[in-house]
């Protein structure tokens, strides 16, 4: 498990989803809820910090 690579992958997926959604007639909210259980909890925390820092923009 590499928290750094997992954390950097998610903002990229969010950017891709936000770019794709309007093409299909969908609107995505900017608010993102992040959760993790057991080993994924550390990734969720890292992702939360990355999102707060604006890395999804």
Reading the block at residue 47, the tokens are: 């992702």
What is the per-residue pLDDT for 17?
Answer: 92
Rounded to two decimals, the pTM is 0.67
Q: Which residues contact 57 (CB under 8 A, 6 or more apart)?
A: 15
Residue ranges in the chain modelled with pLDDT below 50: none
- The pLDDT, as a whole number, for residue 29 is 86
CB 3 within 8 A of CB 39: no
Look at residue 44 in the predicted model and tell me its pLDDT: 85
* Residue that has been written with the tokens 């707060």 in this structure: 52
Name 47's Cβ contacts closer than 8 Å, sequence gap at least 6. 6, 7, 10, 11, 34
Residue 54 has a pLDDT of 84
């Amino acid at each position: 498990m590499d928290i750094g690579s997992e954390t950097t992958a998610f903002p990229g997926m969010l950017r891709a989803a936000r770019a794709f959604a309007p093409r299909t007639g969908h609107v995505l909210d900017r608010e993102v809820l992040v959760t993790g259980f057991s080993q994924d909890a550390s990734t969720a925390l890292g992702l939360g910090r990355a999102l707060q820092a604006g890395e999804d923009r």
